[in-house]
Structure formats: structure tokens, C-alpha cells
Structure 1
Amino acid sequence: MKQTQLPLEIGMLLYPGLTLLDLFGPQTVFSWFANTHLVWKTNDPIVSDTGISVHPTATFETCPRELDILFVPGGFGQQKIMNDSEVLGFLADRASRSRYVTSVCSGSLLLGAAGLLKGYKATSHWSAREGLRMYGAEPVEARVVVDRNRVTGGGVTAGIDFGLVVLAKLRGDDAAKLTQLAMEYDPEPPFNAGSPAAAGPEIVEQAMSFMAAEMEKHTG
């Protein structure tokens, strides 16, 4: 498919303790059609919640002011920046001029903390979704929620679905279908345990305990 449009300009927030797949699922979807700016306060490497480092390509000052997509991932380190005025100020500033203001997983809570989801329907990781109410958002149980120019994805793997939805809006269905095929995104999970309802209470309890322990490691 021949591209005749300018590349999309995408600002993707980095922060210590982010979840890599929240970031790289959507980034992989967008990559053929976009200039991606991985943004943090400095150019120093950012260590993810699994210990893998990512290098920022822009700072809050050098990130383009006009973006097609402003994106925030989730992660166990997200709690540490929920009251960070520099982070929230950056998000509010770029959101005011972005075509789409977006997130995956608990990144939606950061959008909420920046005042960007009040009066909007949104989703998040199943364990964090109800927390959106604190920021005036209406939680929705779905893989991807679109409300005007706010697009939010559910937990982690939902970032690929999210990316395809946003790409279709900006570059058309064929671009999204081409990308889905190129990625061979045709999931057949080996277990039916991808939601609390499917996994059952015992697995949910174990998952909550595991995530609480991981959160403590990153915030303690």
C-alpha cells in the first residue's frame, strides 16, 4: 500500500517501571505510519517493570508540541508519578493540541490524574478500572473504548487491539488490516483465562496477590 500522507507524529510517555508490552504493542502497530517520540524528563535510560531498559528519544521540552497521538502506557511504576506535576503538566499541555489522547492499561489513570478523562468513558486493566471514577471518568469493561478523541485500551495485550483501532481512524481500515496481517495477529490463547470471569476466583486471587507484591517492589 503506497503511503502519500505525512507520517503520524506520536508522543509516547516513558517512566520508570512501565510495562513494555503496553508501550511496544501499540508502537509496533503504528511504526510503519509514524514518527514515534519516546518521551521522558531526561534522555537517561528508563528501566521497565521487568528490568529491560528503554532509551528516550525526546524530553518534555523537545517533544513536538503538535501530536496526532498522545499515548500513556501503564505499569507498576505508574503510582510513583501520579502526583508528579511535571509529568501531569506535560500530558495536559500536549493533550490540548493532540488529535487523539490515548492510553493502555493503567495509563488511563495517569490521564485521569492530569484531568483529561473527566466526563469521558474509558477503560483500563481490570484490576484498576474502577479507579477511573476518582477522576470523573465512566469505567467501561471493554478491550478498547472510544469516546470522542479519547481512546483507551484494557490491560497489556489489549494494546494491540487499541493500536489497530486508532490506526484505522487515522489511516483507514486497510492500513489496519495490512498491519494486523503483517504482525500475524490472529490470537489463539492456550487457556481461557484472560479475564476475571473466565479465570475464576482462585486464579483472580492469586493474580491480585502477585500484582500487589510487584507494586510494592516498585513503590516501596
Structure 2
Amino acid sequence: MTDSPKPFHIVFLLFDGITQLDFTGPAQFLARMPGAIVHTAAKQLKPIETDSGFAILPNRDFADCPQADLLCVPGGFGTKGVISDDETLQFLRDQAAGAQYITSVCTGSLALGAAGLLKGKRATSHWAYTRLLEKFGATFEKARVVKDGNVITAGGVTSGIDFALTVIAEIAGQQFAEFVQLGLEYDPRPPFNSGHPDLADPKLIAMLQDRIYRKQASDLADIIDRR
């Protein structure tokens, strides 16, 4: 670490229907890197409705957003709107062209794919949507964090914290990443062993698919196929 580290611009895309932890989880960790400046970018400077019943106010619109050193696209049910919106996809392409890292959490990887940024890349997403990655010329890799060149994708929601620590270790070193992890007491010990389909009761998987994910994945596939 230095007394005056070089600024490192982190740009998170915000959009209505975002899963807030996809954004706030990694943002909490990445903001502690030396020189980190976090920008929250949306099409308009108006409150963004999250999936948790509260809104987030972006601090940049697309025109005013600086060039990202790290671009991150969170996920959420609002991903459908992102991959349907040409202006947003062009913003991602423009930012990715000059970014040191192009990243996503959860279904944010589908937005990267729709912007043409995953072709020939290994990537991941939330477990219920990983089959859609091939529609963008990407290859699904089963891991919480997948790094292929300067493209880093994370699995569902809480994987964003693991992604952030991976990035911090690469940029600032493992010791500093451990320093941040300790400071934020990231020591996950969940009370139940059902956080991944490999571990969960098949009945729970079927319930989630029936109630939520099967339709959502089908809707996303239709949008992707129409583009």
C-alpha cells in the first residue's frame, strides 16, 4: 500500500429489478482497496428499485460515467430489461473496451453475453441460468468464481463476495485481501447445508424451479433468441 494510491475506478451497472446483494456485497469489499472509487451508473439519475423493497440512487448516468478500471454487472430479475436495451448494452461495450477487468455477479453474466463480451470465454452465473451462457458463445464452468483472461464472472448472489476477494488479491495481494476479509469478518458458516444444487434436497430444487426459475429462465431465453 502507498500513501497516495493511484485511483482505481469501479463501475457498477444499476437497473430496476437488481438483486441488491449482487451489488452491495462486492461493493462493500472492493471499496476497501487502495485508491478505490466506486461509481454506480444507470441510464438516469433516479432511484433504482431493488428486489428487496428499497431503492438505490446511482451517482452517475451513462454520459457522465468515467472509464472503469473494473466494470461489474450485477444480476437480478431486471436482467431481462438490460439484455433488451440497446443503450445499456452499448454502455457496457464502451466501458469494457477500456476496462482492466470485465466482471459480473449472478445473471449479470447474461448481460455481458448480450453485449458480446463472453464469446469464447469460460463463465458462470446463478445455477438456474447457466445453460443460457452457451447462447452467447460462452462455456459454463462450474465454480463460484471463474476467471478467463480479464473476464471474471461469479455465481449466484453471495458469490459476489468471493469474487471481490479474488479481485482484491490479484490487484493488492493476498495479504491485503485477507486483511479486508478479516476486517469485514467474512467467515461464512451457514446453519444449513443447502446453498448449492449439489448439496440441497432435490425437493427444494424442484420447488424453486417450479415457483421461480423455470419461467424466468424461459423468459430470458426467449428474449435472447429474439435479439
**For this structure pair, what is the TM-score category when the shorter chain's length is used for normalisation?**
over 0.9
* Distance in 1, Cα, partners of 2:5 & 2:181: 20
Per-residue displacement from partner, 1:20-75 (whole Å, max 9, x unpaired)?
1000111001112211000001110000112210000001011102x210000000
Structure 2 spans left out of the alignment, 5+ residues: 221-227
1:94 aligns with 2:101: no
| DSSP 3-state at the match of 2:22 | helix
Tell me the residue number matched to 2:53.
51
1:7 aligns with 2:7: yes
1:212 deviates by 4.0
1:186 deviates by 0.7
| DSSP 3-state at the match of 2:26 | helix
The amino acid across from 2:12 in the alignment is: M
CA RMSD across the alignment:
1.9
1:215 deviates by 4.8
Moved more, 18-27 or 166-175: 166-175
1:133 deviates by 0.3
* Distance in 2, Cα, partners of 1:60 & 1:103: 18
* Distance in 2, Cα, partners of 1:11 & 1:114: 16
The amino acid across from 1:31 in the alignment is: A
Aligned length: 217
CA gap 1:18/1:50 in 2 versus in 1, 3 angstroms: same
Structure 1 spans left out of the alignment, 5+ residues: none
1:197 deviates by 1.7
Tell me the residue number matched to 1:60.
62
Tell me the residue number matched to 1:207.
208
| DSSP 3-state at the match of 1:191 | coil
* Distance in 1, Cα, partners of 2:42 & 2:121: 26
| DSSP 3-state at the match of 1:96 | helix
* Distance in 2, Cα, partners of 1:139 & 1:174: 30
| DSSP 3-state at the match of 2:161 | helix
1:7 deviates by 3.1
The percent identity for this pair of structures is 44
